[in-house]
Structure 1
């Protein structure tokens, strides 16, 4: 953990440099899986081109340009979970607060400096992970996490998701701890991937403006049916 703050990705880093930093980040994550800085850094190392493409897409619309300009934050310190939990049951805010309480986890935080729009999009992707659990209905068990990775791969083309799915599937083959047959597991991943491809791209959506909106309404708007 002590090495994590020293890791950084230089501007215009080569593929070799990105792979080297990604491996360093992975070594930290082996001992500290929840490390937010190395988690985000790993995403940026492997998905730099993907995030750059997403930035270009956002720049084509007024709403997207506003998002990149304002760089809103969904970090843990920005979320008042007590206030969100007091919102009516069924709303996004209430659902997100209950998600964190029920799973005994905390919202994503990072100290990684945002030097450009690509860094912001990498941070935004990490911040929206838990919100996607609430919207899609995918669980936080092993299979549910892999389904969400497959969904993100289909929706955004995130390369980090490929790596996570590879290791998750190898673990499924080795341990079978989930209790789900391999054929059913693979069917669920395919369905989640196709659902992600059929859904509205979520990364530019202003979730922070919709805490009082019913989850059912947002799901109908953003997420394709199962």
Structure 2
């Protein structure tokens, strides 16, 4: 299945419908892992209740209510990467822009309609993925991606992250990749999960207001220290 325009999640969709759409999205993502529509839609399918709970949490604070009201965007079309890269070295804006340049990738974009706050939170989670790479220091190789998924699972309880970890870990334990042995892989995933649990919840943070803030300052504020692994 390649026509992502036919994929959508009806309002108040049943568990069966959400699982069906998630399976269809997975088929697309096998051949197009960066597909923005399916990437966001599968998160909503598997994490609808998680996002609903996160919305409730955000509604309890002034900053959270402001975020839900304004619905700021970190999509590629909203970002001037050239301007961000001109900011001083070490600032969030500069390092975020350099992250895309160095990895030869582009910021997340989607055309999925935002019908409610839950849709917005699903989109926000996808948009902050690359920012978390910058703040946590986890690389973009297979090991780094799994560490970031474990961090998100610990921090937010994201089921999609658990799903990705389950299947990727199974594949890695069968045939270790990237020069990382089985025991080291498991230690690093567990450490990232614990770090996520120990860190303040990141999803409601107004990153777009902190482009000129040093990454080191934000990392100390938003991320627990990394464990030293023996």
TM-score by length of 2: 0.97
CA distance in 1, matches of 2:140, 2:2: 28
Shift of 1:110: 0.2
Note the alpha carbon deviations across 1:73-123, whole angstroms, 9 max, x for none: 000001100000000000000000000000000000000000000000000
CA distance in 2, matches of 1:106, 1:175: 30
Note the alpha carbon deviations across 1:32-87, whole angstroms, 9 max, x for none: 11100001000000000000000000000111011001000000001100000000
CA distance in 1, matches of 2:92, 2:175: 35
Residue matched to 1:108: 108
CA distance in 2, matches of 1:173, 1:223: 28
Conserved? CA contact 1:149–1:165, under 8 Å = yes
State the superposition RMSD in angstroms. 0.8
Residue matched to 1:177: 177
Structure 1 segments of 4+ aligned residues over 2 angstroms from their partners? none
Conserved? CA contact 1:96–1:134, under 8 Å = yes
CA distance in 2, matches of 1:137, 1:181: 20
Shift of 1:7: 0.6
Q: Which runs of 5+ in 1 are unaligned?
A: none
Residue matched to 1:40: 40
1:122 maps onto 2:112 in alignment: no
TM-score by length of 1: 0.98
Aligned residues: 226
CA distance in 1, matches of 2:142, 2:164: 11
CA distance in 1, matches of 2:195, 2:34: 27
Conserved? CA contact 1:172–1:178, under 8 Å = no
Residue matched to 1:194: 194
1:67 maps onto 2:64 in alignment: no
1:16 maps onto 2:16 in alignment: yes
For the residue of structure 1 that corresponds to 2:204, the secondary structure is coil
1:29 maps onto 2:32 in alignment: no
Shift of 1:167: 1.5
